[in-house]
Amino acid sequence: EVLLVESGGGLVQPGGSLRLSCAASGFTFSNYWMHWVRQVPGKGPVWVSRINSDGSSITFADSVKGRFTISRDNAKDTLYLDLNNLRAEDTAVYYCARGVVGTLSYFDYWGQGTLVTVSS
Amino acid sequence: DIVMTQSPDSLAVSLGERATINCKSSQSVLYSSNNRNYLAWYQQKAGQPPKLLIYWASTRESGVPDRFSGSGSGTDFTLTISSLQAEDVAVYYCQQYYSTPLYSFGQGTKLEIK
């Protein structure tokens, strides 16, 4: 069974930092592109970042470029998202999701999400 | 950037009746080289992550009941639930994956029981 489990969310002050993790199991993690998608409760999902299977290709949405970093450890089957210089508008549930077909991909499995709240 | 617009924003349908949700993209998501529409549909129940229902606009994901179907091409797409069941109450989202890296989603359609 494919399982994605996020952790690391919490309450942080504006300008602060967090590291989110996504532990994967039930599939060969190193074969898949992985993504982070966030969602403000009551709103539609918004794609944040992606990383290819070996970590050599990384892309971010303009809204987080320069502030967020994505990485992966294929030996540990884990995806990461480092959130820096956080703003109130970064408050959301953050999901990791598995991409199916390279760059032009829908997302076939999602984690349960971890809530990030940016507030003073 | 491709903008995805769904209609209606909310919908109430009687049990056993048909539910239809529309999704319009601001530009075509049909890839002419392979004649595929890069459009997916997701279902999100309260407190849960989105669940993939349909991809390539009309291919049902494994395990999804056959009462769910997707249609359309180019810029206009439809998700149809042929006979609404109580467990289908959810918010439904369309997503384009034609123009990346911005994998844009629609704003969602909330489906309820009448």
Interface residues of chain A, partner chain B, Cβ below 8 Å:
35, 37, 43-47, 50, 59-61, 95, 100, 103-113
Number of Cβ pairs closer than 8 Å across A and B?
59
Convert the pLDDT of each residue in A56-106 to its tens digit.
Answer: 999 999 999 999 999 999 999 999 999 999 999 999 999 999 998 777 889
Option in B98, B100, B107 nearest A44 (CB) = B107
- In angstroms, rounded to a whole number, what is the distance separating the alpha carbons of residues A71 and B14? 46
Q: Does B100 contact A at CB distance below 8 Å?
A: yes
Confidence of residue A108 (pLDDT cuts 50, 70, 90): very high
Residue window 2-31, chain B: list those with CB within 8 Å of chain A: none
Convert the pLDDT of each residue in B22-51 to its tens digit.
Answer: 999 999 999 999 999 999 999 999 999 999
Q: Does B110 contact A at CB distance below 8 Å?
A: no
Per-residue model confidence (pLDDT) at position B99: 86
- In angstroms, rounded to a whole number, what is the distance separating the alpha carbons of residues A99 and A97? 6
* Per-residue pLDDT of chain B in tens (114 residues, 90 and over written 9): 899 999 999 999 999 999 999 999 999 999 999 999 999 999 999 999 999 999 999 999 999 999 999 999 999 999 999 999 999 999 999 999 998 767 999 999 999 999
Mutation target among A104, A108, A112 for the B interface, most CBs of B within 10 A: A104
Per-residue model confidence (pLDDT) at position B101: 67
User: Could you give phi then psi for residue A46, rounded to 5 degrees?
Assistant: -135, 125
Q: Does B97 contact A at CB distance below 8 Å?
A: yes
Convert the pLDDT of each residue in A25-60 to its tens digit.
Answer: 999 999 999 999 999 999 999 999 999 999 999 999
Longest CA pairwise span in chain A (Å): 40
Record: contact B101-A103, CB cut-off 8 A: yes
The residue ranges of DSSP E strands in B29-108, in sequence order, are 30-31, 36-37, 39-44, 51-55, 59-60, 68-73, 76-81, 90-96
Closest CA to B77 of B10, B41, B23, B30: B23
